[in-house]
């Protein structure tokens, strides 16, 4: 902090006499005039926490400095603005770096100067919001004995024509062996000099020539025009490729296409594709022994945005099913690339090698390095990444979406890695597989939810995409669907399937897996899995009337309501008369006996409910616990209840489902024993107690109830099967008062 304070005090004192210099403890600005035009320079203070051990996530500067400087430039009507940082932009924490880059590109900043790293770098940076030119310079006062060429002393001169925005950059480096002189920095720039045009969001490319319009007013447009920098920024920006390492997918897709063209000509050839990661040199390379790129392909397709190589072959032959359709995939490499080295070998033109350092600059053709010469036809593309990106991270992400690529090899620092080959059905109890000319389906049924992966020609599209999954398809059925070329329509990012006729047709085709896997599960003898399937069958039955229309649109052959009722009856197991029994068997017994009621109990049952439950069960009625459970679906879980399922079944069998608290009284008549079969003393005393306490007392057999009596409002039942009642019968010859007191105790009534 002291060091910064000393510098800021020096800065303030030094510029006291300058009227164009505005000083602050953070940013400072100066506005210079050149031929009557104002040029703004913002000096940003980003060194408050400068140290050799500073990590990017700890490095902050306060990007409001840029806004403050921009306000000054607006007041001074500057036509060209420069921002000066000490640190390179990549050294800031991710969140603030994105804000800084957005401000620089969206506001009128034209050139950015950076230092700190002591190495030369110059390039145009473009996003969807705008563009600017950034230069990272060497240190003019670094050690004269520095051996590493990248960090030897040097400086840059940037010569700009403000009218045309053309520039010439002179790179100079201290070269000891030439006589201790600053000379052309040929290590950084070929020849030590470079010409170009600064990116400008106000320069547009017109679609039509001026003579194609009858416009005579220069203030009116002649035709539509395009902001090329912004369009390119979109193509290599987050809107199309939200994940920066998606370029690996694009490169591998190009290689797959190249290999398919070779295989089309000679089916006996088995071309290979390799991904090489080198963490030491921070690059990732994709190689193939496909057909390579000819000069014509490079000129008319590779270097033309929007025109893919694959289109050349599919348009001319009409029968190549290729996947790199949009002609912009290679551009995605520049999201992370510091430079790109391309080697290609075709039968027509042999070896061609070139380097791309900047998407807005020219290709630099080179002699192919000996180690890069391809033995057969094919192409290698090596991406040297910016310091903030890592090739091993790119590989890890690539493994997620490179699902089934024929002939793929992966090497990480020369160690071979087995490429992924999972179909997401490992551990499934039963599988369903279906091959067709347009897709391969492999699904399995599991105890727990599992996604359905969608891929296209072996490349991941996404998980659980609703466009191809039937309505309310069970979440316990998972696996993968790999569409073959032209098997499905997807968007430009290849991460979303378009809702077209193809997806509608496919949904119905994949729907057949449900009934087949459910049947296998129900026949498996696996109780947990069977219960999962029964839960889904109950859901489909419970919500049949609500869902039927959507099920018919989404399934080729879904269950009818009768089928669902039969499946539930054949597989649901209930407790019945002391044993487990299938619902279908219980219903057959009830039908034979002419019973028309099905009873249910909810929540905690009272003692009275328990004796009614026991009695009805003994009479052959279905009495069940009404339980609720959630059934998993991809959109949201759905609740089912046993009562709702039984209601559908009862309607089918012309029966009624009744709460156990609402049992018709006539059905409980036989639950009561005739008092005439007991000693007269018992009947006499019970009659007296009933009158004195205003209750009705009955006797019943409730062997499963460990209590002497049960009360339900003003009705009390004595439990004939309980030991206390049997003792009571033996006391009938005792004095009446003594017998009555004992009976009141059993009934839970006070002395009157």
- Beta strands of 2-69 (E only): which ranges? 21-22, 28-34, 37-43
**For 110-166, how does the pLDDT look when each residue is reduced to its tens digit (9 = 90+)?**
999 988 888 888 877 655 455 688 888 888 777 777 777 777 888 889 999 888 888
313 — pLDDT class (breaks 50, 70, 90): very low
Q: What is the pLDDT of residue 560?
A: 96
Q: Give the model's confidence band at 359: pLDDT under 50 very low, under 70 low, under 90 confident, else very high.
A: confident
Together in a domain, 402 and 530:
no
- List Cβ neighbours of 485 (8 Å cut-off, separation of 6 or more): 321, 322, 323, 456, 457
Same domain, 347 and 277: yes
The predicted structure's pLDDT at residue 558? 96
Q: Specify whether the CB–CB gap between 187 and 153 falls below 8 A.
A: no
Average pLDDT estimate for 257-269: 88
pLDDT tens digits along 412-429: 998 999 988 899 999 999
| Percent of the chain predicted with pLDDT > 70 | 89
CA angle 512, 516, 522 (to 5 degrees): 145
Residue 318 lies in a domain: yes
* Residue 148 burial (CB count, 10 A): 8
Which helix (DSSP H) or strand (DSSP E) does residue 587 occupy? Answer: helix 583-593
Domain co-membership, 655 together with 686 = no
| Total domains in the fold of the chain | 4
Share of the chain above pLDDT 90, in %: 51
* pLDDT for the residue numbered 312: 46
For residue 45, pLDDT over 80 is answered with yes
621 and 529 in a single domain? The answer is: yes
pLDDT at residue 320 tops 50: no
Give yes or no: residues 646 and 679 share one domain.
no
The least confident of 248-252, 314-318, 587-591, 641-645 is: 314-318
Residue 743 CA to residue 697 CA, distance in Å, equals 11
Is residue 168 included in any domain, yes or no?
yes
Same domain, 643 and 694: no
Average pLDDT of the residues of the chain: 86
pLDDT attached to residue 269: 86
Range of lowest pLDDT (82-91, 216-225, 630-639)? 216-225
**Is the model's pLDDT at 71 over the cut of 70?**
yes
Say if 549 falls within a structural domain.
yes
DSSP 301: I
The pLDDT of 709-725, averaged and rounded, is 91
Q: Averaged over 264-287, what is the pLDDT?
A: 92
CATH number at residue 743: 1.20.120.790
Q: What pLDDT is stored for residue 227 in this prediction?
A: 64
Mean of the pLDDT values across residues 612-627?
Answer: 94
Give the domain-ending residue among 383, 398, 417.
Answer: 417
Place of tokens 């790129």: 293
Looking at the fold, whether 176 and 40 belong to one and the same domain comes out as yes
- For residues 187 and 59, membership in a common domain is answered with yes
Positive or negative: CA dihedral 120, 123, 127, 129: positive
Predicted confidence at residue 20, as pLDDT, reads 83
Residue 161 and residue 88 share a domain:
yes
The mean pLDDT of 189-197, rounded to a whole number, is 84
**Helical H segments across 266-381, by residue range:** 295-297, 309-317
Query: How distant, in Å, are the alpha carbons of 371, 619, 713 from that of 607?
Result: 88, 19, 12
CA atoms of 308 and 327, how far apart (whole Å): 4
Decide if pLDDT at 86 tops 50. yes
Q: With the C-alpha atoms ordered 699, 705, 709, 712, is the resulting torsion angle positive or negative?
A: negative
- Whether residue 224 is contained in a domain is answered as no
551 occurs within a structural domain: yes
Q: Judge whether 278 lies within some domain.
A: yes
Q: Report the range of poorest mean pLDDT among 174-178, 296-300, 597-601, 709-713.
A: 174-178
User: Left, alpha or beta for 179 (phi > 0: left; psi -120 to 50: alpha)?
Assistant: left
Of the residues 157, 180, 206, the one at which a domain ends: 206
Predicted pLDDT of residue 121: 81
**Is the residue at 215 inside a domain?**
no
Domain co-membership, 191 together with 307? no
Q: What band does 316 get if pLDDT is binned at 50, 70 and 90?
A: very low
pTM for this one? 0.67
Domain boundary among 398, 417, 436: 417
Q: Which domain holds residue 393?
A: 244-417
Q: How far apart are CA 264 and CA 253, in angstroms?
A: 16
**Pair 660, 679 in one domain:** no
* CA proximity to 356, closest of 341, 375, 370: 341
**Averaged pLDDT, 295-302:** 88
Q: What is the pLDDT of residue 311?
A: 46
User: Residue 283 sits in a domain of what CATH number?
Assistant: 3.30.565.10
pLDDT confidence of residue 324: 45
- Does the pLDDT of residue 15 top 80, yes or no? yes
Q: Nearest-CA neighbor of 710 among 681, 664, 671?
A: 671
Looking at the domain assignment, is residue 715 inside a domain? Answer: yes
C-alpha distances (whole Å) from 38 to each of 80, 82, 84, 145, 158 are 7, 12, 17, 41, 18
Whether 676 and 553 map to the same domain: the answer is no
**Which tokens is 539 given?**
């859901």
């Amino acid at each position: 902090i002291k060091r910064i304070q000393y510098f800021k005090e020096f800065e303030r004192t030094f510029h006291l006499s300058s009227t164009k210099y505005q000083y602050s403890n953070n940013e400072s600005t100066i506005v210079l005039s050149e031929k009557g035009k104002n040029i703004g320079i913002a000096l940003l203070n980003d060194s408050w926490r400068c140290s050799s051990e500073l990590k990017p996530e700890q490095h902050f500067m306060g990007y409001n400095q840029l806004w403050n400087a921009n306000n000054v430039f607006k007041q001074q009507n500057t036509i060209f603005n420069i921002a000066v940082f000490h640190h390179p932009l990549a050294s800031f924490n991710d969140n603030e770096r994105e804000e800084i880059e957005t401000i620089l590109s969206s506001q009128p900043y034209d050139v950015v100067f950076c230092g700190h790293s002591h190495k030369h770098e110059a390039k145009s940076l473009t996003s969807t919001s705008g563009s600017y030119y950034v230069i990272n310079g060497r240190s003019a006062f670094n050690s004269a004995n520095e051996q590493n060429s990248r960090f030897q002393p040097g400086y840059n001169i940037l010569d700009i024509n403000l009218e045309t925005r053309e520039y010439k950059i002179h790179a100079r480096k201290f070269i000891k062996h030439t006589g201790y002189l600053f000379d052309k920095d040929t290590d950084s720039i070929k020849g030590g000099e470079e010409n170009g045009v600064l990116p400008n969001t106000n320069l547009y490319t017109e679609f039509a020539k001026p003579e194609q319009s009858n416009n005579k007013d220069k203030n009116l447009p002649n035709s539509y025009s395009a902001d090329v920098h912004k369009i390119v920024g979109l193509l290599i920006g987050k809107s199309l490729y939200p994940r920066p390492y998606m370029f690996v997918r694009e490169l591998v897709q190009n290689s797959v296409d190249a290999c398919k063209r070779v295989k089309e000509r000679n089916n006996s050839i088995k071309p290979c594709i390799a991904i090489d990661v080198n963490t030491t040199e921070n690059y990732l390379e994709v190689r193939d022994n496909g057909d390579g790129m000819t000069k014509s392909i490079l000129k008319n397709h590779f270097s033309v945005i929007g025109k893919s190589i694959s289109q050349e072959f599919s348009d001319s032959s009409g029968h190549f099913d290729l996947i790199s359709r949009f002609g912009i995939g290679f551009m995605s490499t520049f999201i992370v690339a510091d430079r790109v080295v391309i080697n290609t070998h075709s039968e027509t033109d042999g070896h061609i090698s070139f380097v791309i350092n900047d998407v807005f600059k020219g290709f630099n053709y080179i002699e192919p390095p000996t180690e890069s010469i391809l033995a057969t036809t094919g192409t290698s593309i090596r991406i040297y990444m910016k310091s903030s990106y890592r090739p091993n991270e790119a590989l890890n992400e690539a493994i997620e979406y490179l699902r089934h690529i024929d002939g793929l090899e992966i090497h990480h620092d020369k160690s071979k890695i087995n490429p992924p080959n999972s179909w997401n059905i490992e551990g499934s109890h039963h599988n369903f597989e279906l091959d067709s000319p347009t897709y391969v389906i492999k699904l399995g049924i599991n105890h727990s939810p599992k996604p359905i992966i969608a891929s296209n020609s072996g490349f991941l599209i996404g998980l659980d995409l609703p466009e191809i999954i039937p309505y309310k398809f069970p979440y316990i059925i998972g696996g993968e669907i790999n569409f073959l070329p032209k098997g499905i329509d997807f968007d430009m990012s290849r991460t979303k399937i378009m809702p077209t006729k193809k997806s509608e047709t496919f949904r119905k085709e994949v729907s057949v897996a449900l009934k087949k896997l459910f049947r296998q599960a129900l026949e498996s003898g696996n109780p947990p899995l069977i219960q999962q399937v029964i839960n889904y069958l109950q859901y489909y039955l419970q919500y049949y009337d609500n869902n039927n229309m959507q099920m018919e649109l989404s399934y080729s052959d879904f269950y009818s309501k009768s089928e669902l009722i039969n499946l539930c009856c054949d597989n649901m197991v209930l407790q019945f008369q002391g044993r487990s029994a299938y619902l279908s068997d219980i219903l057959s017994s009830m039908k034979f006996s002419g019973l028309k009621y099905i009873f249910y109990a909810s929540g905690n049952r009272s003692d009275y409910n328990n004796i009614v439950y026991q009695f009805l069960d003994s009479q052959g009625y279905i009495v069940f616990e009404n339980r609720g459970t959630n059934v998993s679906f991809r959109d949201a879980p759905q609740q089912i209840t046993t009562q709702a399922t039984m209601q559908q079944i009862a309607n089918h069998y012309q029966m009624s489902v009744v709460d156990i608290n609402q049992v018709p009284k006539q059905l409980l008549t036989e639950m009561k024993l005739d008092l005439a079969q007991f000693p007269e003393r018992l009947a006499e005393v019970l009659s007296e107690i009933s009158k004195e306490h205003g209750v009705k007392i009955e006797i019943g057999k409730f062997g499963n109830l460990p209590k002497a009596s049960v009360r339900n409002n003003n009705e009390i039942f004595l439990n004939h099967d309980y030991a206390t009642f049997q003792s009571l019968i033996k006391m009938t010859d005792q004095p009446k008062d003594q017998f009555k007191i004992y009976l009141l105790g059993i009934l839970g009534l006070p002395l009157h």
